Chains A and B, each alone.
Chain A
Amino acid sequence: MTSKKRWLTCAVAAMMTLSFAACGTYTDSTTVSDEPESSASETAGSEETPDASSAEGEEETASGGDSFTIVATQPNTLNMIQSQSNLDNYCFYLTQEMLFRPYDGVYSPEVVDTWEVDETGTVYTYHLKETNWSDGTPITADDFAYYFLAQLDPAMGSANATTLITTYGFVNAEAYYNGECDVSEVGIKALDDYTLQLTLEEPKADFDGTNITCYPLDADFVAEQGEALGGTPENYMCSGPYVLADWTYGSSLTYEKNDQWLLADEQFLVETVTMLEATDANTSVSMFESGEVDAVLSVDDDYLSILPEENLQYFVFNALKAVQLNTLGQGDAEKIALLSNENFRFALSYALNREAIVAAVTPTDTPVNRYLFAPMTGNSPETLFEDDYAVESVPLAGDAEQAKAYLQAALDELGYASVDELPALSYLTFENEAYRLMAETLVDQWNQVLGLGNITIDLKPIPDAIQSMMSYQYDIYYTSLGTGAVPSGFFNMWITGGSANDVAANGSNIFSNEEFDALVDEAQRTMDREDRMALYAQAEQIMIDESPLIPISTSGNYAAVASYVDGFMYNSNDNAIELNYLTVNK
């Protein structure tokens, strides 16, 4: 018995040893914020001796702090030719020079020293400053030209050519993309090492010569890297405020300040920026609360009430969430008549209480009843389009009585005695929690308000759902669309033959209105800003009245930012986390 007890005691001791061998006070030196001794003392030191610091006179450089750590989703790729994601641009913005750098929606010259436009409004000539890649080799106008040319090159596998062609309309860009002309014939040219010339087919009113996102890209480096381009820091060239020092997939990106950058003494003063992968929502918030990170770019709805209000910053995205009706009815005449019926569409729209839906399902969104909303600017860069131009649309809270009246009108027009006779409709959406919940809520409201029991939800994995949408195999589809920084970005998707309208590119438009097309076309050629915006406002009203796109909300986001951080900025028009004037005063 004694022996048995001794053996058991040994076993328990061994297990305890195993369990707690690694435990103890957490004192890892690599942690960002659990080292109050070092960071606090450094800060305290600098604060306590301002005179001593200033005594160093002109040699002193501005400081934004030693480090800034933020939880944000990682880029998909740093291949600047094949990149399609806004997330990639977060990295490009921090690590590349730009002709003009946007900050909070306003573009300022960076590499461009001076620039002029000819009297036709189509030839833009940019004179560049001398600047270098982070390895010290000079950046030339060729590098900026190649950034666009590579995306237009059909051999490079870029999905961005169509957008470039539509947005800027460079001379022969489309022909080059289609393999019909030589690169030398494209209106993107380096006249010499420091002169870049962009020639447009015709003046683009929404392009003022500065609002262009253009980074340098070294053609030789691209050729040397081949398929590996942009996969790791070693396969990526930096030229901007920061150098990408490390990229651990699924974990973190570390940016070190690039002292060679043109404006290194004025902007992006924080020495090291670390972006941690946005993982579990609870983990992100716990890391913020424990001080392991200084900010979380996107706080999950469920955790907003936990965090102090003063730490939350709201950002609105230029993204529309809307219900889209397939007016082609999958070839079924009965469905075509129903889904194209204006009264039926209004009935669906008026039945929805957008305020209640958004509050319940996507509380960080903002309910909308139109297409051009904040942050879309209006008559001037300082005003919002939605403030400058009101529209006649459905009330945000909906109107159940009006919805029923519209439905009755639709039934009368289409010859149905009751809603029970309506054809079955499928609501196609993504197979994930957020989209499923939205689908259930919308279908439930249509059922409660209008008595529509003919709508079934068709959940599919994202690739499958998108393929179904692109082949028009749906009746109702819940879509999310970027609205762009200027109205033409969104409206061009909805003109006859537009990319969101005629997704199969075979002439099967779900919306076609000649007046709308003409207004959008005219607006894009109207150089006077106020006149242009007035035309866009008319186009928007036509879309509200006629198009099968029922707006629900615009995406929004709460970021959590520590109280010792100043100058944190995110702007969805610029697709960037803008740390230009960020200071960390830990």
Chain B
Amino acid sequence: MAKEWFLLRKYILQRLVISVVTLWLIVTVCFFLLRLLPGNPFASTTLMTQETLDRMMAYYGLDQPLWKQYLTYMGNLLKGDFGYSLKYAGRSVNYVIASTFPVSAQLGLQALAFGIPTGLLLGILAAKLRGRAADAGINVFVIICTAVPTFIIAALLQYFLALKLELFPVAQWKSFAYTILPTICLSLGTVSGYARSMRTLMLEVDRQDFLKTAKAKGLGPARIVVFHQIRNAIIPMITNLGTEIAGMLMGSYVIEKIFSIPGMGAYFVDSINGLDYTMVMGLVIFQAVIVIGANFVVDLLYGVIDPRIRVR
């Protein structure tokens, strides 16, 4: 037991070191790549004279040598300061993240909380009812969810459920009622993905010898499905969970735009389009931390779910 704890601590430490190095690489590459892009953060459809532009560049220190800008940025970063947006004067990147991340995270978590169980359930049902009408129905549903773009489904849901039936508000983010339609829309990809994978994995597990053993031991069908079939089928699906959680937490540009949700998604797109260096950097670093963290947690979860994968 003591040896296991020692190995676990060593594993965590190794992962932390790798994570820090990865993060530094991401920051550095991203910093220099951004500066290589043509244009500048102050170019907009409003005409600005070259003299004014030069003054703006100097005011924000963008006329300094690149290495100097990099050192300044890294110095601020070590203090946890992402700086202020170059596009939206007065908005600190830290504040933008602090105010928009909870919204995107809530939406993402709701979508996962709804999407994963629903997807798993549909996958299990389709596998257990293989070849029947229900299986075909679930397959059609999954194909629709995969093939039809989210913005079309969102528009249809808005039209029928909000505008015609008045069950939900059309858009905005004020109370739980406002979150339902975007949650459903955002979760459809998860539902279809998990349903498809779970069905396949359940069918694969169904052919394994240990299930025959379980049946021979006289276990009930429900117990076999829950404790043997599902548990074994679910392990491969955990692999992508970290990336998926991170992706969902960081917001969806399309869903947030359609439902007028004050999340992070729009900032990603707008800041890249507008070459808002500080905003892009802050968001990328934050996302990298989330992705690295989520994958780390998932790796630890492996050991909990499957004893064969524990650190030795």
Contact = CB atoms under 8 A, between A and B. Distances in A.
A11 B84 contact: no
Interface stretch (B3-11, B53-61, B201-209, B239-247): B53-61
A18 B225 contact: no
Contacts of A504: 50
Interface in B76-95: 84, 87-92, 95
B1 interface: no
Given A279-B257, A464-B38, A504-B50, A76 B95 contact: no
Contacts of A229: 89-90
Please tell me the size bucket of the interface on A: 35 or more
Contacts of B256: 250
Interface in A18-59: 18-19, 22-31, 34
Contact of A251 (B37, B51, B151, B173): B173
Given A12-B125, A77-B90, A290-B162, A250 B266 contact: yes
B293 interface: no
Interface in A234-254: 235, 248-252
B177 A28 contact: yes
Interface stretch (A1-9, A94-102, A336-344, A567-575): A1-9
Contact of A250 (B48, B125, B262): B262
Given A3-B221, A157-B60, A251-B172, A25 B47 contact: no
Contacts of A250: 100, 256, 260-263, 266-267
Interface string B141-153: 0000000000100
A463 B180 contact: no
B227 interface: no
B261 to A, nearest CB: 7
A287 B151 CA distance: 16
B197 interface: no
Contact of A287 (B59, B171, B266): B171
A438 interface: no
Contacts of A276: 172, 260
A483 to B, nearest CB: 12
Interface in A435-485: 460-468, 470, 480-482
Contacts of B260: 250-251, 276-277, 279-280, 283
B163 interface: yes
Given A76-B89, A461-B39, A283 B262 contact: no
Q: Which 8 pairs between the two chains have the least Cβ-Cβ distance?
A: A463-B39, A231-B90, A251-B262, A157-B59, A466-B43, A230-B90, A77-B89, A463-B43
Interface of A: 3-4, 7-8, 11-12, 14-15, 18-19, 22-31, 34, 76-79, 82-85, 154, 157, 159, 161-162, 225, 227-232, 235, 248-252, 276-277, 279-280, 282-283, 286-287, 289-290, 292, 430, 460-468, 470, 480-482, 493, 499-500, 503-506
22 contacts: A7-B222, A8-B129, A11-B125, A15-B118, A18-B114, A26-B177, A28-B178, A77-B88, A79-B89, A82-B90, A84-B48, A157-B59, A231-B84, A231-B88, A231-B89, A248-B99, A249-B100, A279-B257, A460-B38, A463-B39, A481-B47, A499-B47
